[in-house]
Amino acid sequence: MTVFGWIILGLLAGVIAKVLLPGRDPGGLIGTTLIGIAGAFTGGWLSARFLDRPISNDFFDGATWLAAIGGSLVLLIAYRILFGHSRSR
C-alpha cells in the first residue's frame, strides 16, 4: 500500500475511532483526522514490529484495518487525557 493509501486508511480509521469514542475533542475535526492518520501509521508499525504481522499491501486486509483503528483509538484516548476531554465541558 502506498503512502496515499495509508493516509486514506488513516482518515477512515480516525472517523471510526471518533464514532467509537463520541464527544468533543480539543482539536476538532482536523485534529481528529490527523490523529487518525498518525494512528494508522502507529498501529501498522506496532503490528509489524511486536505482533510479527507484516504490513499488507492490500487495502482491504482486516488485520491492517484493526491495527489502524486500534492505533487511532489509543492516540485519541491519549490526546484526550493530555489536552482535555469531553467530560470537562
CA distances from 34 to 10, 49, 55, 65 (A): 8, 22, 21, 17
**pLDDT, position 68:** 85
pTM of structure: 0.76
C-alpha span between 49 and 41 (Å, rounded): 12
CA distances from 9 to 18, 38, 58, 86 (A): 14, 10, 11, 25
pLDDT tens string 32-52 = 778 888 888 888 788 888 877
Q: Provide the pLDDT confidence category of residue 83 given band limits of 50, 70 and 90.
A: confident
Q: Provide the pLDDT confidence category of residue 26 given band limits of 50, 70 and 90.
A: low
Q: Are 62 and 38 in contact (CB under 8 A)?
A: no
DSSP type of residue 22:
-
pLDDT tens string 54-77 = 766 677 777 888 888 888 888 888
Helices (H) and strands (E) in the chain, counts: 3, 0
Cβ–Cβ contacts within 10 Å for residue 12, how many?
16
Query: What average pLDDT score do residues 7-33 get?
Result: 79
